[in-house]
Chain A
């Protein structure tokens, strides 16, 4: 279509989807097809729609999303590896009115930061943990993560993860759901438009709980891809999620607030 036709077409139409203004107007550094960009966007859309930008504080992790503050246009603290939840506790306890979320990968949250994660949830500290689980250490070059599936090849499990030698993949969301401090725990994905809609709803719901001052920690796990680390095309990686990964990491709510249970 020529530019002219395009303009005429648009004139008669309404804009139904645009990039949220809470994302910086800058291209991200993530690899083609990486789910980080989608999740960043969903969180910022939720913050914008809920109108809480002026009291939102994000905690960036160590890993691929260490520079999240270059994309998320909200006040952000970059925490030490694994310590994002401790950092969030510090803020939330002194300033309970702030809306706080951490954004952490699986190496950050489920390996080096396991202690901080468990105890923050056990205290029921009222913030949101957005947990990106792609079963690999992307930033450092594709090493095995605690969440790596049995048999999966990574740069430190070159023959596939041998569970006798390297332990088993951790379903940390299910572990955390056992703690009374956990308020809402769900596992989502962003590998299709349908999944993205659901994930957005979950993130928004979790933030709403925090805004309402509901008791406990919320965790939205997003089982995502790592095309570079998995050595797949974006399309293959999304298909691999459907075919293999979701069998182990089953999508859906793991713990919901008492009233909603039925």
Chain B
């Protein structure tokens, strides 16, 4: 059962979701995530879940709202323009505190953009995205294996905190084929029973359950905001995930996530071959962002370079973490272009200086 399989990232994610006890999938075709939708259409009915190809991403996210509000483990997936369309619904889901999994297989924008991979949706993903003060837990895989692993984690976190979890990946990770092993997962043990709040029908005359994001009185709306903010503080305390590579002796630090982190890793190796002591920090949870880890490392290096497939979005969070202590550079490619390791190395050389140790 746990044998190694060769799969596309999108399909691995879909398979993991089904193995995690997915009860409903609602989606709409958009490149480069359509394999996920197609996989669900083939598999989910057979394995006890409901699949609906909706008429739009707007409908998809509101189907997720309905089913999640009734206590089901549900998800949707899309790519950038579709994710923009979902924002209103996601804001409602965040306020109404419904657990669900969202997947954005990012492509280059703005506008209709390109179907090639990008990381241009970082701001939209981690700063809220829709209207109002809210956050999603955002997980950024960088391999097909992590596409699967983070799906299980995502569902569990969504249940635990009663909020949407977003897997922010990109067209390359969605399309690439790699080996993947699906871990053992006990659905019954891991699924949370939501009957204390979900709309399941007023069995035995219990109190009415209401799913809403409407609080007309300002006092009530502020109170709901405070509930959300308290939850976010707890998440910032407990759910920061990141990976460090060769940072122990590093004089210079790269920060990159997802696909960029794979390429940055390669650049670290190239730099090390030339005797430059470069390390890499890869944020895995983009919200909550590993501010503390970056701040700690910034005390040990002479400079930082953030690498993204965007015009520079995550770099703003890196600069917040570093708070001016060392220079933070940025290298990025846009519109579906992917930074190459030698390009990154060149940028490193422009900024690199050995740390003068006190």
Give the shortest distance, in Å, between A83 (CB) and chain B (any CB).
4
B70 and A91 contacting across the interface, CB-CB below 8 Å: yes
Chain A residues within an 8 Å CB radius of B1: none
User: Could you list 18 A-B pairs, sorted by A, with CB under 8 Å?
Assistant: A56-B201, A57-B200, A75-B208, A75-B209, A76-B208, A76-B210, A76-B211, A77-B210, A79-B65, A80-B89, A80-B92, A86-B58, A88-B66, A93-B67, A94-B74, A115-B59, A116-B59, A119-B54
Q: Does A54 contact B (CB under 8 A)?
A: yes
For the side of the interface on B, what is the size category?
35 or more
Look across to chain B and name the residue whose beta carbon is closest to the beta carbon of A69: B210
- The residues in A between 68 and 84 inclusive whose CB is less than 8 angstroms from any CB of B are 69, 73-80, 83
Considering the chains assembled together, what is the distance between the CA atoms of A183 and B203 in angstroms? 28
Q: Is the CB of A55 within 8 A of B74?
A: no
Q: A54-B202, A89-B59, A119-B54 are in contact. List 5 more A-B contacts (CB 8 A).
A: A57-B201, A86-B59, A90-B74, A91-B66, A93-B52
Tally of A interface residues using CB under 8 Å: 35
Report the separation of the CA atoms of residues A118 and B88 in the bound assembly, to the nearest whole angstrom: 20
Residues of B bordering A, CB below 8 Å: 23-24, 26, 49-50, 52, 54-56, 58-60, 62-70, 72, 74, 88-89, 92, 199-204, 208-214, 216
Select A77's contact among B69, B204, B216, beta carbons within 8 Å.
B69
B200 to chain A, nearest CB (A): 7
A175 CB, nearest partner CB in chain B, Å: 16
- Say yes or no: A77 contacts B208, CB within 8 Å: no
> Which residues of chain A are near B54, meaning CB under 8 Å?
86, 89, 119
Q: Do B66 and A59 touch (CB < 8 A)?
A: yes
How far is A60 from B199 in the complex, measured between Cα atoms in Å? 13
Q: A114-140, CB under 8 A of B: which get 1 and which 0? A: 011011000100000000000000000
The 10 A-B pairs at the shortest CB distance, nearest first, are namely: A90-B66, A87-B66, A90-B63, A90-B67, A75-B199, A86-B62, A83-B62, A55-B201, A78-B212, A119-B55
Task: Point out the residues of chain A lying under 8 angstroms from B213, CB to CB.
Answer: 78
Quick one: closest A residue to B76, CB to CB? A90
A123 CA to B203 CA, complexed, in Å: 29
The answer to whether A53 has its CB under 8 Å from any CB of chain B is yes
